[in-house]
Amino acid sequence: MDYDKIIKNIYSEVKHFYPAGKVADYIPELAKVDPDKFGVSLVTVYGEEINAGDCDERFSIQSIAKVFALSMAFSVLGEKIWERVGVEPSGSSFNSIVQLEYEKGKPRNPFINSGALVICDILISKRSDPKAEFLGIVRKLSGRKTINYNLKVAESEKDHGYKNAALINMMKSYGNIINPIEIVLELYYSICSVEMTCTELARIFLPFADLKNKFSCGGFELTKSQIKRINALMLSCGFYDESGEFAFEVGLPGKSGVGGGIAAINPNQYSVAVWSPRINEKGNSALGMKFLERLTTETEDSIF
Amino acid sequence: MDYDKIIKNIYSEVKHFYPAGKVADYIPELAKVDPDKFGVSLVTVYGEEINAGDCDERFSIQSIAKVFALSMAFSVLGEKIWERVGVEPSGSSFNSIVQLEYEKGKPRNPFINSGALVICDILISKRSDPKAEFLGIVRKLSGRKTINYNLKVAESEKDHGYKNAALINMMKSYGNIINPIEIVLELYYSICSVEMTCTELARIFLPFADLKNKFSCGGFELTKSQIKRINALMLSCGFYDESGEFAFEVGLPGKSGVGGGIAAINPNQYSVAVWSPRINEKGNSALGMKFLERLTTETEDSIF
Amino acid sequence: MDYDKIIKNIYSEVKHFYPAGKVADYIPELAKVDPDKFGVSLVTVYGEEINAGDCDERFSIQSIAKVFALSMAFSVLGEKIWERVGVEPSGSSFNSIVQLEYEKGKPRNPFINSGALVICDILISKRSDPKAEFLGIVRKLSGRKTINYNLKVAESEKDHGYKNAALINMMKSYGNIINPIEIVLELYYSICSVEMTCTELARIFLPFADLKNKFSCGGFELTKSQIKRINALMLSCGFYDESGEFAFEVGLPGKSGVGGGIAAINPNQYSVAVWSPRINEKGNSALGMKFLERLTTETEDSIF
Amino acid sequence: MDYDKIIKNIYSEVKHFYPAGKVADYIPELAKVDPDKFGVSLVTVYGEEINAGDCDERFSIQSIAKVFALSMAFSVLGEKIWERVGVEPSGSSFNSIVQLEYEKGKPRNPFINSGALVICDILISKRSDPKAEFLGIVRKLSGRKTINYNLKVAESEKDHGYKNAALINMMKSYGNIINPIEIVLELYYSICSVEMTCTELARIFLPFADLKNKFSCGGFELTKSQIKRINALMLSCGFYDESGEFAFEVGLPGKSGVGGGIAAINPNQYSVAVWSPRINEKGNSALGMKFLERLTTETEDSIF
């Protein structure tokens, strides 16, 4: 398939087409990004890289980081991880906290905030320096040693993060957070603050597409079966309460972040990263979703 | 791939292995089935058919029928269908009715009961005899003219169906049911009462795997893109609040019924039907899920 | 206390003062009432009657009827009644149906619709002709034999009553409705359709204020202790999710109806009925609540 | 009425009668109290004091303190207070936090934990030393200068108070908490930790019964109308999700605490305090509720 041509065609077509959504502005650091940025990178399992637009500019990957936090914890704890977090989509966001109460502090899946906080808690219990290890993994997988946390963003998120503080306190009351709340929040906000380019993001997701090789990086390993399970979770739960819509329109496992990034994979084919800061009311990049919908329509190749 | 050997091996292995779950007994007609029945059929896109166990005995397909009701309505109404029903998983069952209230009578997806009732309402509005057409489709796709409704089951379900009556009245109060309640319920319970064998069931699901051909049957047509969207919905929403678990463990689009049947497809490979009447507490066939999990593990081939 | 002067002063003062709210229009029969009607009647335990405005015009008492349905059932079944319906306020209306689901079909109290439906179910089980008995009681207590059901209103409500149909089906699914749904709904809508004047309404509530005598009418009896318990329920639960507001602003046990009527009592003092068809967004007569608030402020005499 | 004889008779009768419930044990300081303690005090508006049992032993008044926090804030802010907290009962506890989310961070009433936290926030904004003022009020009203906070209890509650931390963070995210969370929690836990005897408790509630005099203490004043409104709130919301039951069985405005204390008032008659540490599953003193039910049954004198 001539991905180079396809990517560039869709990029040109979509670029002028879809100005909906607005930049996340709940913290000043996210609000000041240029809303018209638009970058795309696709990496095939054969090593081909196609880039378009602002693919070399770093942005805050936010919730996309949760995929790697989960990968680390899954590698360390194995199937036991599912005793503390579920694998079901969460349904609509309006009932997130009552669901947590109803289900005794066990989050529905590792990609909603409560679930990712439990994952961070697991990492703190099991590793001596998960923050450094996380950075090591994304640096190694992307081949870029300059990738780093943006501590100003992390700090600012924490200062405004009353909903997350509510969630973690609720879980603590049910005994599903072991470590001190402050320490868990610190790790959580740090990993969400990592800044990467589309190219770097596409590269670090390649292991989820490249099923011929097991995931092995920085002392963490995942079997083919485990990778497939993470892919399944991305498909079911990767886009908040728009996960069904993404599966329906795009048909690829993926994960979005409130900074406007989306990473997705097509098994045995490619990984792809898109960045456009205007997000829709569900918190997903409007242009990014459009781009990916066009990609799988054009190639007639989703997982379904 | 030697599906014949694989299917028979797994069948033998799993048969004695997993006696959990109990037969649905909320109506007498379902309760009297032999709990130890276990049948499997797999049909490849190349026409090969593999059968094992009680694959020639008919059972009540129940909610599996919703896939064909949706296919008919999607064919007739196109994208407009999504104005009346969503494409998102419903989250846990405990809040199904409050969600319906919160979302003003629009069901989350076409595979939960409220969504299937809306689909039936659409069919009644748009077709002169949807009940006969439904039967025509499953007969034609399976090649078996003796397939029929079990009106005793339909009647009995309706007599005990107070929860469904609550749901449809709630939707009617929001204007999302157009036709008289009695008529919609009659269609709904009829199509759920259809009885089929595993072989027949595997055959009628083949069009969802065989993406080289568009779905065309009995005057209803679906494009490749529409088939893929229905597959995506099966993956996200096909197993009640165990959909995430099924995606996670099995990794195939599918649909289960409370009668103990499960149908699933692997795109461009095969369709498969399993029947074992003991269902787990989420309403899905326990042995059926186990069998399919083993199948994709053994073949190392899910959609992820 | 010179209630005559007080009532007339407040009537004049309030009459021009408070034009908020709108007439209930979900059925044509209720919508066509003159929104500017305003009547008041107060009856003291010493037999004094004070009337003002449109106090001799009959209107649909609607939910106010629930107090007498409860009285009948309480008389017949005694404390056993509380096995099937609770005595707690329901909280905000948004979660009424999920609460019913969460609490296995047992309504929170006898004054929300679900609770009144259970009360009607009890009456049908225990009495041969509760519909005639209900009418007998309100006729005898008011001294007016012309009081009657408005069957056109009852019929119309039933035809539009999808939410109530949802509630009763939900309860039936939990086994808390014994009789056929149609029969229970018929009794429910009939008693809600009774039409009375303010004077008649004030008279029939006098037994709840006149604690020197036990309630005894038409073969039904309530002890002083039982009357007090019904008064407590009126205070806690008589005004939907504005019950706290009414207790807070007015401080009397009472019951409102969507037709714009309110009946209230001051123990050992008086009963009072107000009618003004414009209802606020909580379903209570806006002018009626204002009048009663002024009454207890002026007399400095609430139950608190 | 010979309250002395009545109180002592009921005390003797009830003492051996009702061993249900268990001592609150979520913090060690509360768990170590003798579960068989049982004290009663009643103070009439004429100054008579009747005491029985362990009426001179101090215990943790816990949520009973919320009545005085509310009184202070109501005095300072007047009707504006209701912009930040409601006057409606909360319904069942299971949905407390979703209700807070649904209603944008505005608690249903000042006696549930979230509401009392908002009240504390108001006091911190408006007063320079609300903690000292609170203590001044309860000391002055009781005539006992030795009443004090138990800071060990306060500290321990805070260390285990993850649910309250969840609630206050949720409200902060909606902007309904102005001051730093730590400071609000510190005030909240302090006032809940005050220790008093039944006699002292009955005395400080006398102003809510003695409606001939306005409440005036330590620079805070409440009009007769404001006192009546607080009484209405106690009746509607004073006993968590057993408020309806207490209104129904006892028929007096009152407030309970998890330490096993209950204070209640009969307007123009008396205030009464009961203490028995065994609490029922709703968090209210089992023996205390029994005692008060017997009191209003025996005297045939509730507010209804």
What pLDDT is stored for residue B289 in this prediction? Answer: 95
Structure confidence at residue A145 as a pLDDT band (50, 70, 90): very high
More confident residue, B99 or A180: A180
Q: What is the pLDDT of residue B92?
A: 62
Length of chain D, in residues: 304
Mean pLDDT over B203-209 rounds to 98
pLDDT in tens, C266-291: 999 999 999 999 999 889 999 999 99
Cβ atoms within 10 Å, residue D152: 12
Question: Does residue C173 contact residue B113 with C-beta atoms inside 8 Å?
Answer: no
**Cβ atoms A73, A33 nearer than 8 A:** no
Of chain C, the percentage scoring pLDDT greater than 90 comes to 87
Set C14, C258, C272, C274: catalytic member: C258
User: Within a 10 A sphere around the Cβ of D16, how many other Cβ atoms?
Assistant: 7
Tens digits of residue pLDDT in B250-269: 999 999 999 999 999 999 99
Contacts (Cβ under 8 Å, ≥6 apart) of A51: A39, A40, A41, A198, A199
Q: What is the pLDDT of residue B20?
A: 75
Mapping DSSP to helix (H, G, I), strand (E, B) and coil, where does residue C30 land?
helix
Taking only the tens of pLDDT, chain D with its 304 residues reads 899 999 999 999 998 876 678 999 888 888 999 999 999 999 999 999 999 999 999 999 999 999 999 999 999 999 999 999 999 998 766 456 777 887 889 999 999 999 999 999 999 999 999 999 999 999 999 999 999 999 999 999 999 899 999 999 999 999 999 999 999 999 999 999 999 999 999 999 999 999 998 899 999 999 999 999 999 999 999 998 899 999 999 999 999 999 999 999 999 999 999 999 999 988 999 999 999 999 999 999 999 9
Question: DSSP alpha helices (H): ranges in B32-95?
Answer: 66-77
**For residues A250 and A242, what is the distance between their CA atoms, to the nearest angstrom?**
12
Q: List CB contacts (< 8 A) between A87 and chain B.
A: 244-245, 247-248
pLDDT of C94 strictly over 80: no
Helix (H, G, I), strand (E, B) or coil at C58: coil
Judging contacts by C-beta atoms under 8 Å, the chain D residues touching residue C114 are none
Mean pLDDT of chain A: 94
Q: Residue C95 pLDDT more than 60?
A: no
**Do C88 and D245 make contact, defined as CB atoms within 8 angstroms?**
yes
Q: Characterize the bridge pairing of strands A39-44 and A270-275.
A: antiparallel
Percent of chain C with pLDDT over 70: 98
* pLDDT higher than threshold 90 for residue C29: no
pLDDT tens string D201-247: 999 999 999 999 889 999 999 999 999 999 999 999 999 889 999 99
Is A89 close to B91, i.e. CB distance below 8 A? yes
**Quick one: closest CA in C to B175, which residue?**
C162
The answer to whether C303 faces chain D, any CB pair under 8 Å, is yes
At A19, is the pLDDT very low, low, confident or very high (cuts 50, 70, 90)? Answer: low
Instruction: Average the pLDDT over A123-131 and give the result.
Output: 98
Res. B28 pLDDT band, cuts 50 70 90: confident
Q: Is D63 a catalytic residue?
A: yes
Summarize pLDDT for B113-159 with one digit per residue, the tens.
999 999 999 999 999 999 999 999 999 999 999 999 999 999 999 99
Q: What pLDDT is stored for residue D1 in this prediction?
A: 85
Q: Under an 8 A CB cutoff, do D103 and C92 touch? A: yes
Tell me which residue of C257, C162, C202 sits closest to C41, measured CA to CA. Answer: C202
| H or E stretch covering C50 | strand C49-53
What pLDDT is recorded for position D144?
A: 97
Catalytic residue among D43, D118, D184, D258: D258
Sort out which chain C residues have CB atoms less than 8 A from B102's CB and list them.
94
Contacts with D, A 153-192, CB within 8 Å? 162-163, 165-167, 169-170, 172-173
The dihedral of CA D73, D76, D82, D87: what is its sign?
Answer: positive
For residue A94, give how far its alpha carbon lies from the nearest alpha carbon of chain B (Å): 9
Residue A273 host element (H or E): strand A270-275
* A positions 213-232 inside 8 Å of D (CB): none
Q: Which of C96, C113, C159, C162 is most worth mutating to test chain B (most B CB atoms within 10 A of its CB)?
A: C162
How far apart, in whole angstroms, are the C-alpha atoms of residue B10 and residue C64? 66
Active site residues of B: 63, 66, 188, 240, 258
- Residue B172's identity, in one-letter code, is K
**Residues of A tagged active-site:** 63, 66, 188, 240, 258
C86, C108, C247 member nearest D232 (Cβ): C247
Three-state DSSP class for residue C211: coil
Among the listed residues A212, A179, A195, A304, the one whose alpha carbon sits nearest the alpha carbon of residue A250: A304
Q: Burial, D90: exposed, middle or buried (Cβ in 10 Å; 0-12, 13-18, 19+)?
A: buried
Chain A: nearest CA to D117, how far in angstroms? Answer: 14
Q: Are D64 and D255 in contact (CB under 8 A)?
A: yes
Pick from B94, B162, B172: which is nearest to C170 by CB? B162
Is B142:B203 a contact under the CB 8 Å cutoff? yes
Give the Å distances, CA to CA, from B215 to B221, B241, D23.
5, 28, 67
Average pLDDT rounded to a whole number, residues C43-68: 97
E-strand stretches of chain D:
22-23, 39-44, 49-53, 59-60, 195-196, 215-217, 220-222, 254-256, 261-266, 270-275, 278-279
Contact D157, D192 (CB under 8 A): yes
What is residue D26's predicted lDDT score, i.e. its pLDDT? 86
Contact A114, A171 (CB under 8 A): yes
pLDDT in tens, A226-284: 999 999 999 999 998 899 999 999 999 999 999 999 999 999 999 999 999 999 988 99
Does B247 sit within 8 Å of A232, measured CB to CB? yes
User: Could you please report the per-residue DSSP string of B56-107?
Assistant: TS-EE-GGGGHHHHHHHHHHHHGGGGGGTS--S----GGGHHHHHHHTTT--
D162 to chain A, closest Cα gap in Å: 5
Does D253 sit within 8 Å of C304, measured CB to CB?
A: yes
**pLDDT of A95 over the 60 cut:** no
Q: What's the complex ipTM?
A: 0.93
pLDDT tens digits for C148-206? 999 999 999 999 899 999 999 999 999 999 999 999 999 999 999 999 999 999 999 99
Give me the residue from A94, A102, A170 closest to D166, CB to CB: A170
Please tell me whether residue B264 adopts helix, strand or coil conformation.
strand
Tell me the pLDDT tens digit for each residue of C212-262: 988 999 999 999 999 999 999 999 999 988 999 999 999 999 999 999 999
User: Is the CB of residue D95 less than 8 Å away from at least one CB of chain A?
Assistant: yes
Identify the residue among C82, C88, C93, C234 best suited for mutation to test binding to D, counting D beta carbons within 10 A and taking the highest.
C88
Q: With contacts defined as CB-CB under 8 Å, which chain B residues touch C97?
A: 97-98, 101, 166, 170
Name the phi and psi angles at D35, rounded to 5.
-65, -15
Residue A268 forms contact with B (CB below 8 Å) = no
A297 has a pLDDT exceeding 90: yes
* Interhelix angle C162-173/B162-173, nearest 10 degrees: 160
Which chain C positions have a beta carbon within 8 Å of B172's beta carbon? 162
Give the predicted TM-score (pTM) of the model.
0.92
- The pLDDT, as a whole number, for residue B55 is 97
Residue D187 to residue D121: CA distance in whole angstroms: 9
Q: What integer is the mean pLDDT of A50-68?
A: 98
